Amino acid sequence: MLTLKFGGTSVGNADAIAQTVAVIAKTKKQDPSVAVVTSAMSGVTDMLVNSARAAANGQQQPFLDARDALYEKHMQAAQALIEDKKSLEQYERHVEELVRFFARLCGSIHVLGELTPRGLDVVSGLGERLSAPLLAAALQAQGVDATWIDATEIIVTDEQFGEATPIIAPTCERVQARLKPLIAAGVIPIVTGFVGATESGVPTTLGRGGSDFSAAILGACLGADEIQIWTDVNGILTADPRIVPEARTLRQLSYNEAAELAYFGAKVIHPKTMLPAVERKIPIRILNTFHPDGPSTVITSEPQKNGLVKAISAIRNLTLINVEGRGMMGVPGIAARTFRAVADVKANVLMISQASSEQSICFVVPQNRSDLVQQALKHEFERELSLHDIDRIYPVDDVAIIAVVGAGMRGTPGIAGRLFSALGEVHVNVIALAQGSSESNISMVVDRQDLESAVRAIHQAFFQNTRIPTPQLVS
Ligand code: ADP
Ligand code: ASP
Ligand code: MG
């Protein structure tokens, strides 16, 4: 039993979908029990989200344009892939209905002048409801029996719109009841990624990039032998190939290493994907749809000690917030109050660093939460600020975190030294630093402008220098 997930580029146009169909057909020959999860066509989710936001800001044109563009994009692919007139017409009716629904929703958002997280989830989840029936029809057209399933029927989540958490027991019950009979009958279910619904049926989404997570949830519920994430790169590489073209495929990673990399920006896999797989020890494999026999990465529970640093990841659009003051020394509860205030405004703290003198705490939050966080802190520490126990609460905007990840770093001296000499050589200033308690991660805050040169310099120092042991790689 295999669960396959195809990302936006793998269903981005007719050629890509034809390639995806070929991968699925070949897989089915090797293992007849297959379930598929698909993302929206590339660019579609962004288009939906941006149109809804513009509508809330009083602009109608973006959603009117998006309605036409969505229709065009999907029908153009459909015409190239679906020969049978009846199924093409059936798909066209579905597209028409959904784009009309989309325009109506955006019309209401425009009238109200407000976009709630709940409303946004209804809009942003439409992309997968357009792509899944297209992929199913394209498979049918090639003689592979497939049917599309709306995940709002099977993935049950809580009500945290925009970043909902699946509730495993009812989800597995529904997944098994709905998908197992299809799979047993030789039909491939093509399930919409990214979306779910609350117990009472209100649509939710699992967070951007969440289709990987959807696949892992289904894989766990179905007891899959492997969860395969099909994307546009040869697995997980030593760094983002858009920054380091020389980056190479990592053959094997542990769940923990993959989660750390993903958490710190390696977009190739959603950080939550590992959660459902860990307990059942289901391997997750990352492969390239456009190079199916090329190198791939497998993520398993086995810790790999060979090599020191496995990979480098980076995350942008962050702000470093500093809370500083001599009066903070030895005062209990400052850290607790700081992070309670931050949690109250629902800001995710990506990294924390405290000076050993206890005179300052700094931490990193997404830039779009920075103002809210500062307000909350100034309110929380009004008294301390007026007494000058806390001197300053201030932001450093436009920073990035670079994370260096590898279980083999544990207990190996000299890594930090090598890291800083590499950065020193390219004149990159490290603004703050933290080492994960697992010792398999060192993360650094640098100026946004230094991000690319810093990642390249670290990559050069650890992977392009033959004197240093490197992890198992394939080029
Ligand atoms: P999909 O649409 O298939 O889900 P994504 O765009 O979400 O694909 O993720 C794939 C992209 O992740 C790659 O094109 C690559 O630019 C980026 N990426 C970032 N870090 C890494 C890494 N360490 N290894 C591979 N790809 C990475
Ligand atoms: N389509 C969704 C997004 O763009 C989910 C995904 O691609 O994984 O975020
Ligand atoms: Mg993705």
Instruction: Give pLDDT tens digits for 54-69.
Output: 999 999 999 999 999 9
Euclidean distance between CA atoms 431 and 320, whole angstroms:
9
Q: Which fold has domain 311-464?
A: VC0802-like (3.30.2130)
Edge-to-edge strand ranges of the sheet holding 146-149: 146-149, 188-192, 34-38, 2-6, 226-231, 284-288, 297-300, 252-254
Euclidean distance between CA atoms 157 and 171, whole angstroms:
8
Residue 474, pLDDT score: 52
Q: Is the pTM of this model over 0.85?
A: yes
HSE (CB half, 13 Å, CA atoms) of 71? 16
What are the residues facing 393 on neighbouring strands?
323
Task: Please write the tens of the pLDDT for every residue from 142-158.
Answer: 999 999 999 999 999 99
End-to-end CA distance of the chain: 29
210 lines ligand 2 (CB under 6 A): yes
Edge-to-edge strand ranges of the sheet holding 360-366: 351-354, 360-366, 311-324, 392-405, 441-447, 430-435
- What is the rounded average pLDDT of the residues 18-44? 98
193 lines ligand 2 (CB under 6 A): yes
295 lines ligand 2 (CB under 6 A): no
- The Å distance, Cα 228 to ligand 1 centre, comes to 14
| Six token digits for residue 425 | 């050589």
- The Å distance, Cα 129 to ligand 1 centre, comes to 23
CA of 237, closest atom in ligand 1: 24
Q: How confident is the model at residue 327 (pLDDT cuts 50, 70, 90)?
A: confident
CATH superfamily, with its number, for domain 2-232:
Acetylglutamate kinase-like (3.40.1160.10)
Considering every ligand atom, which ligand is closest to the CA of 41?
Answer: 2
Task: Please write the tens of the pLDDT for every residue from 183-212.
Answer: 999 999 999 999 999 999 999 999 999 999
Q: How confident is the model at residue 475 (pLDDT cuts 50, 70, 90)?
A: very low
Residue nearest to atom 21 of ligand 1 (CA): 240
- The Å distance, Cα 92 to ligand 1 centre, comes to 31
The CATH 3.30.2130.10 portion of the chain extends over 311-464
219 lines ligand 2 (CB under 6 A): no
- The Å distance, Cα 357 to ligand 1 centre, comes to 40
Residue 302, pLDDT score: 78
The CATH 3.40.1160.10 portion of the chain extends over 2-232
CA of 6, closest atom in ligand 1: 3
pLDDT of residue 412 exceeding 80, the answer is no
Residue 333, pLDDT score: 87
Considering every ligand atom, which ligand is closest to the CA of 16?
Answer: 1
Residue 187, pLDDT score: 98
CA of 214, closest atom in ligand 2: 8
- What is the rounded average pLDDT of the residues 220-237? 98
Give the residue, out of 36, 42, 208, with the most ligand 2 atoms within 8 A of its beta carbon, to mutate for a pocket test: 208
- What is the rounded average pLDDT of the residues 223-246? 97
